[in-house]
Amino acid sequence: MKKVIRLVKRNFIATIDTAFLIWQIFFPLLYLFIAGYAYASIIEGVELADKKIEYPAFIASGIIGLNIMNSSVTAGSMIWNDKRTGMFEQILMLPFTRMDYVMSNIITIIIIGIISAGIVIFASIPTVFNGIEISLSSIQFLLLAILLGSIFFGSIAIIASIKFKSNEGFQTMLNTTFIFFAFVSTTFYPAEGAPEPLSIAFHINPLTYVVNIIRAGLFNSIYDFLYIEIIILTIISIITFTVATRLLVRLNV
C-alpha cells in the first residue's frame, strides 16, 4: 500500500497539471450557477421518488456525477503521457508493479472526485440545497457513487489510453463517449417524459446510476430499484476494471 501511496503523491506533484486540476474542480460551480438558475425559470421542479425538488438542486447533484466522470480522463491522460515520455518503463524498473500503477491512478481520480463533490455540496448548501441535512447515510451513498463511478469511468479511460496509438484518437474517442454518457443520462433532466428509446438509453447508462445514487443520498429519496442499480454499477465497474488491468498487464514496454 505504501508503494501505491507514493505513486498517488507522484501523480499529484509531477503528472497532473495544476491549472487543469483547478479548472476540473471549480468548473462545476460555474456551470451550476449559470445553467441551474437559467433553466430554473422554465423548469418549476423535478419529481424525485416521493418528493419534488427545485431544478437547481437537481442539476447540482447531477453535476457531482458528471464531474466524477470528467475527472476520470485524468487516469487515461496519465498513462498516455507516461507511455509517451518513457516514464511508465522507468516506474516498472523501480519496485512498483503494474497493479500498483493502476491502483494509484484510480485512487487519484477518487480523491479528485471527493474534493470536487465536497466543493459543489458546500457551495450549494446555502443556495440550492436549502434545508438539506447531510447525514451518515448521505455520505455513504455519495462515497459509494464516487468510488464506483471513478472505477468504471477511470477504467474506460485506461482502456482507451492503451488501445489508441495517437493522442488525437484517444481524446476524440473519450470525449465522444463521455458526451454521450453525459447527455443521455439523468444528469441534466429526468428520464420521465422522454421518448421511449431515449428513456431506455437513460436507464442503461452507468452515469445515470451514479447520479441516482448521489441524489438518493442527498435528498433521502430511496426507491426499490436503487439497490438494483447499485448492484449493476458494481458489476460493470468490476468488469471494466478487470479488462483495464489485464490490458495494462499485457502492455509491451
pLDDT of residue 237: 93
pLDDT of residue 136: 77
pLDDT of residue 229: 92
Cell of 113: 472526485
Give the whole-angstrom CA distance, residue 236 versus residue 175.
20
pLDDT of residue 15: 65
Query: What b-and-e string marks burial along 194-213, b requiring 16 or more CB atoms within 10 Å of the CB?
Result: eeeeeeebbeebbbbbbbbb
Beta strand segments in the chain, E: 46-48, 51-53
Q: What are phi and psi of 200, to 5 degrees?
A: -65, -45
pLDDT of residue 51: 76
Give the whole-angstrom CA distance, residue 87 versus residue 7.
12
DSSP string covering 25-69: HHHHHHHIIIIIHHHHTT---EEETTEEE-HHHHHHHHHHHHHHH
Q: How many other CB atoms are there within 10 angstroms of residue 46's CB atom?
A: 18
Average pLDDT along the chain, 253 residues, taken 10 residues at a time: 84 70 70 70 72 81 85 78 79 83 84 80 74 74 90 88 78 83 85 78 90 87 86 94 86 68
- How many Å separate Cα 217 from the centre of its chain? 16
Give the whole-angstrom CA distance, residue 193 versus residue 205.
17
pLDDT of residue 144: 92
Q: Name residues whose C-beta falls within 8 Å of residue 33's C-beta, 6 or more positions apart in sequence.
A: 127
pLDDT of residue 54: 81
Cα–Cα distances (Å) from 147 to 20, 52, 123, in that order, read 21, 27, 22
pLDDT of residue 131: 61
pLDDT of residue 253: 62
